[in-house]
Amino acid sequence: MTGKRCAAVTTSPGGDLRFAPLRLRPPRVDEVVVRLAGCGICHTDLSCRSGVAAGAILGHEGAGIVERVGNAVRAVQPGDAVVLSFQSCGRCAACLRRHPAGCEHFWQLNFDFQRLDGSSGYLPPLRGHFFGQSAFATHALASERNLVRVADDLPLATLAPLGCGLQTGAGTVLNALNLQAGERLLVLGVGAVGLAAVMAAKLRNADAIVALDRLETRLRCAGELGPRRR
């Protein structure tokens, strides 16, 4: 399917993915079509695969180039490089307080495979809008709210995981904990989220960073990023 739009689609709950032609409706005024350059694979994708019927497009760590924008989109334009993340409504109390992760409609917007009004930008039999992007595909239908423009010369395939695991781990340390220089941090488990926490703690000049994990390979990786290892 070189040169054509396609997606890796679920075939049954827990079954294999298969490639299928991808057909998108024109973007709404606030939506953006992104030609994907890469997408990470998260345990959330693997977990959800076991519980969704055929025709669903997973993937929520996408990055790529803007191909088309709706009439009201102002933050990006065709040709811009972007990283995608989760979706939020922008109108509830949490979103208005600039806390989109607490969006009152988070579940519907990220796990229901449809827009908040129940419609879909994906033509049947495929179902998209997973985390506002469904990035296991050549193209994603996102919105102005769940993408961030990045420099054109950065490697998009490397940046893709920033939209999920890395922002979760780093955001916890930098925002929720607000770790300060001289403080200590214990990180339980150093997968992508834990390693992001380690890097953020190092950025904040933590006095001690202790990483715990059962896998020696992960501990070696964490050790290269700065913590004392136990």
Determine the pLDDT at residue 2: 45
d(CA 173, CA 136): 29
d(CA 211, CA 228): 7
Which single residue is written with the structure tokens 């350059």? 37
Determine the pLDDT at residue 226: 72
Which single residue is written with the structure tokens 């039999």? 125
The alpha carbon of 49 is separated from its chain's Cα centroid by a whole number of angstroms, namely: 16
Query: CATH fold of 167-225, please?
Result: Rossmann fold (3.40.50)
C-alpha radius of gyration, the chain, whole number: 19
Asked whether 115 and 107 are in contact (CB, 8 A), the reply is no
Residues of the chain with pLDDT under 70: 1-3, 227-230
Render pLDDT for 2-17 as a digit per residue (tens, 0 to 9): 468 999 999 999 999 9
Determine the pLDDT at residue 1: 39
Q: Which amino acid is at 218?
A: R
Asked if the domains 6-161 and 167-225 are classified in one and the same CATH topology, the answer is no
Determine the pLDDT at residue 3: 62
The three-class DSSP label of residue 7 is strand
Determine the pLDDT at residue 225: 86
Q: Where are the domains of the chain?
A: 6-161, 167-225
d(CA 32, CA 143): 5
The three-class DSSP label of residue 158 is helix
| Helices (H), ranges, 42-152 | 43-49, 93-96, 106-111
Determine the pLDDT at residue 106: 98
**pTM score of the predicted model:** 0.90
Using alpha carbons, select from 85, 31, 19 the residue that is nearest to residue 57: 19
Render pLDDT for 115-146 as a digit per residue (tens, 0 to 9): 999 999 999 999 999 999 999 999 999 999 99
d(CA 133, CA 164): 12
CATH number of 6-161: 3.90.180.10
